[in-house]
Structure 1
Amino acid sequence: MAVALTLATDLWAPLVEYRDESRWTHLVDPADAAAVLDPSLHAELAGAQVWLLSWLPGQGTDLHDHGSSAGAFAVARGTLTERVVAARPRAAAHQSTTDLAAGRVRYFGPHYVHQVTNSLTEPAVSLHVYAPALRWMNTYRVEHGALVRTGTEKAGVDW
């Protein structure tokens, strides 16, 4: 679904804004998303939430998960750098970094911890699909090789 939505530039391109002070986010109306999706995806969309995000150079997230939600994000424009951190029992957390150019997609489950940043010089845009709808995100840091939860951000309160 994330891929199909990124290909529907008529849906998202007119909506995109860029803000110097923070990343811009927009919750996509489900009816607007359904209008550009194949009808075979409508049942999947019914239980999902779609976010459109813009990223100026240097903007990014903290390390975070997606609470009880799973989903995918697709880069629609530009390139984003994703840092993934996986906790391991009795060993240092495994960390990897990947540049994701336009057209690339990342699928994730509820325990997927990552940080997304625009580390290049051009703006970027991404579409994120969450199911069930995103209600909270836990934030993390890596301390002495271990993944440590630092807080929880809640929908309607923190974003």
Structure 2
Amino acid sequence: MPERARERPQEREQQDAHGRGLLSRIGLAEVYNPSMMPTLRPGDQLVVHYGAAVRPGDIVVLRHPFQHDLLIVKRAVGRRTGGWWVQGDNPAVFNDSREFGAVPDELLVARAWLRLRSPRGIQLSVTSVLGWALSAVRPLGPFSRRFRAR
């Protein structure tokens, strides 16, 4: 199943250097498949920054190179000839650069800032609820997972 992203309504209160509202460049993406496990699970929401600069190790939302109407979530591993090498954190899922090669810069849509873990599936016990509450919001970046370049 694909990951999808949806944008928030535009806000124009704060302006960046290009005259665009900073809040209009913030959105949400929902994870729908296990390609980023264990870092992200299906049902997790991502707070993303559209058009942000990407660094190796960042989690990004991008257009699938063969299906431009499909948005996917992957980790930017590094620059290669032709663009960014992106991979999922789950080595068993190959819907990434191992399958389609480097991704051109113009297909990168957003960089993830925060993960909001879904409360779905947790047991209604004090221990489970506290465990979820302590891990529900987590910043994402190059060090959100022990990163290994390949």
| TM-score above 0.5 | no
With normalisation by structure 1, the TM-score equals 0.29
State the TM-score, normalizing by the size of structure 2: 0.30
More strand by share: 1
